Amino acid sequence: MSDPMYVSLYQAFLKTQENYTYYTTPKLDSYLDLETKFEELIRQTLSVKRMEWLEDPENMDKLVSEDIGGFQSSIHTIMSAGLTKEATGIWKKRKKISGSS
């Protein structure tokens, strides 16, 4: 490779590969549906909370704390409804290993 543009591009590619961890989606038939439901939930919740914030900007801390609990509850509901026992077990193990709730 002699073109400086391609050398720079290749170096950026190598740096990206070295510095990032890529997420591989679970091999589940229901994964796309779960992901879509999750994204719809996030968008819907953010829209509602934005409207609430516009009505009462002083109430930001309360809105944020409500959202965190609501997201966790909703994610658990979506995951529980859409996963098989085996997949739920894998998901719980990953949560435990990663230290997330």
**Per-residue pLDDT reduced to its tens digit, 35-45:** 888 888 888 88
The pLDDT of residue 83 is above 70: no
Residue 10 confidence (pLDDT): 93
Q: What integer pLDDT is reported at residue 9 of this predicted model? A: 93
The per-residue b/e assignment along 12-32, b for 16 or more CB within 10 angstroms, e otherwise, is eeeeeeeeeeeeeeeebeeee
Query: Taking residues 11-28, what's their average pLDDT?
Result: 85
